[in-house]
Structure formats: structure tokens, C-alpha cells
A = this chain, B = another copy of it.
Amino acid sequence: MSANSFGNLFRLTSFGESHGKAVGGVIEGILPGLDIDMDFIQHEMNRRRPGQSAITTPRDEKDQVEILSGVFEGKATGTPMGFLVWNSDQKSGDYDNIRNVYRPSHADYTYQTKYGIRDHRGGGRSSARETIARVFAGAIAKLILRREGLTVQAYTSQVGHIQLDKSYQQMDLEVAESNIVRCPDPEVAQQMIDFIDQTRINKDSVGGVITCVIKNVPVGLGEPVFNKLHAQLGHAMLGINAVKGFEYGSGFGAAAMTGMAHNDEFFMDGDRVRTRTNRSGGIQGGISNGEDIYFNVAFKPIATVLKEQQTVNKDGEEVPTVVKGRHDPCVLPRAVPIVEAMAAMVMVDNLYLNKMYR
């Protein structure tokens, strides 16, 4: 029900907007006794942080997490973990120009109409700053997955018209973290970086696609019929800002296929039942089958562009506007850890849920 909570047994409830005092949340369902590896957590936070490279927004957010509860002597206690990151980067006074203007393809108009009130200083609750809580909770989730051997790894597979044409099996995904666009193919990565840089110079923005792979998944995760594992993953991804589409396994490409071409034949790999192909994307009937789970997430170009656009204001007047503020021409690199975080939370939740049947 709660729109600010995600998950069931492993559950994040988040709060905070771009120009309030802090963003943060509460995480429930952390495995008691879990080592809270702060180095790993801060590393994950830094991956999301703006200002990591020349092609992202220059805003230098510290994103230093403060844990308020739920940990004792470095270990999770099983009680809810409150946490926050202060919003240090608030400047008041320079927002009057956007107080009454609805920026095109932003959430200004819809928030104003739904709630009848709005913090006009930036994106408010719809700001990407809200994703801090997701990445933090995702880092905790990854620590739990690590104990079970699961890995979750995402990378940029498309920026604008530049598409990576290799499948994830054909590349060393670790390479993704070695370049600022987070693409595991160095050559394509450089093309993407150049394209983003040009977009930045053009004061424009560009969309793209993130691919995510989950490995070492036990058979049996997922809760049919309405909470099929991929439905949960899709829900998670579509809740990320700027996401316009989700597909898993064969995805939209499956629409053009026939059953004989699409079906994954089973075979025995020693004692283990496996499939020769994996168009199912590791999920059959909404339940993991032990093969790799992989999916794509489409991002639109973010709405903040620095050129003049036509729009309307609260008084119902048509006015031109030039959106000010920091400019992040392509959010894909920073969205990679967000995709991973959401996926990790889904997987932990389903690991817990599945224990019921044992």
C-alpha cells in the first residue's frame, strides 16, 4: 500500500526531497548478525553520487550515510535500521524563477495538482536525490546476497543511438566499472562517453538502456500469480526515475518469435536440471529456474535541458523557460547502481519469502 515503502520482509521505507534537510529511510528485515561493512556500503553510495566524472553533473554531493539504529558492535541486530544523508547542498533564494513555472516533462505540474502544494526548489520528492535511500538499502541487500552467493551486476548497454551489440555472456562485466559510463566494452564505452560529452556541450540530455544480470540464483524464488519474480523486478525498475520500459529474457524480441524457436529445452548438467538456451531469462511461470536472470531497463533522456522551452505557469499563462541548475546530460552511469540496488532488494525479499516453504 505504502508508496514510500518497497518490499515485504526486506523492506525499505524512504523519505526526503532534494531541498529538505535530509534524505533517508528505515530498513526492516536485515538479517540479525549481518556484518555491516561500511566500506562496501560507502563504495556503493559513491557509485551513485553525482560529480564522479566529467560527464555527470558537477554537483559534489558527499552522500555520507549516518546509521541511526539497528546496529550494535558492527552487526545488524534485527531491529529496523534508520539512516540519513544530510542535504548539504541547499541554496535558498535562487529558486524564485521556477516557483510558478511548470518545467516541461518534469513532475512540477502533476505534484502541484495532486497535492495542491509543492516545494518548488528543485525536484522535491521526484528528485533523483531520493535514490540515495535505494542505493543504501541495496548495499545492505547485497551484503545479504553475498552470504548466499548471489551476484547482481548492471551495466550501460545503450546511450542514445549507440548500442552494445554483445550479450552479457560475451563480455567481462567487471570491465564496466573501469570506465565512467559503466559499459563493459571499452570501445563502445568511449563512443558513449564522446556522445554524452557532445550532448553536454549541446545543453541537451540523452537516454539509454541498462542491462542487469543476476547470477547463482536458487531455483524457486518468486511468488505467482501476481508477484511473479519478473513482475516484482519490473515494478522495482519502473519505480526508478526516468524509466520508460522493462523487458526480461527474450523481452520485446519474443513477440516476433515462434514457440519452437523460443522454448528452452531442458537437459541434465550432472545432477542439475538446466536449459540449453535461456530465452526465459532465468524465470519460468514467475519462479526462478536457476539460470541467469537478465533484463533491460529503458531510460528516457532526463527532462533537465538548458535550452529555452515553451511551457505554462501556475497562473495559466504560456511562458518560455530556461531551466537552470546543474546539468546531468546522461544519468545512465549513475543509474547502474540504482538498478542493482532495486534488484538486490527484490532478491533478498524473495529469498526470505521462500523460506516459508521449508
Contacts and interface: CB of A to CB of B under 8 A. Distances in A.
Interface of A: 1-6, 8-9, 11, 13-17, 20-26, 28-29, 31-33, 66-72, 75-82, 84, 102, 104-107, 109-111, 113-119, 124-126, 130, 158, 160-161, 199, 202, 204-209, 219-220, 222-228, 230-232, 234-235, 238-239, 244-252, 254-268, 271, 273, 275, 279-281, 283-289, 296, 298-305, 307, 309-312, 316-318, 352-358
Contacts of A69: 15-17, 20-23
B246 A105 contact: no
Each complex incorporates copies of this chain amounting to 4
B245 A205 contact: no
12 contacts: A2-B11, A3-B225, A15-B69, A77-B125, A79-B115, A105-B262, A107-B285, A107-B286, A114-B222, A114-B287, A160-B255, A259-B302
Given A69-B22, A255-B158, A265-B104, A78 B114 contact: yes
Contacts of A2: 5, 11, 13, 28
A239 B244 contact: no
Given A82-B15, A223-B3, A255 B209 contact: yes
Contact of A4 (B20, B26, B76, B207): B26
The winner among A199, A228, A254, A355 for most chain B CB atoms within 10 A is A254
A202 B5 CA distance: 47
B80 A82 contact: no
A240 to B, nearest CB: 9
Contacts of A248: 244-245
A21 to B, nearest CB: 5
A15 B161 contact: no
Given A21-B67, A68-B24, A259 B305 contact: yes
A251 B204 CA distance: 19
A228 B347 CA distance: 21
Given A254-B301, A266-B310, A311-B266, A72 B288 contact: no
A326 B202 CA distance: 58
Nearest to A13: B13
A123 B138 CA distance: 29
Contacts of A11: 1-2
A244 B244 contact: no
Contacts of A251: 244-245, 298
What 10 A-B pairs come out closest when comparing CB atoms? A107-B285, A245-B247, A3-B223, A15-B82, A205-B259, A78-B115, A110-B287, A254-B300, A114-B220, A231-B238
Nearest to A66: B21
B114 A357 contact: yes
Given A22-B68, A299-B254, A230 B224 contact: no
A1 to B, nearest CB: 5
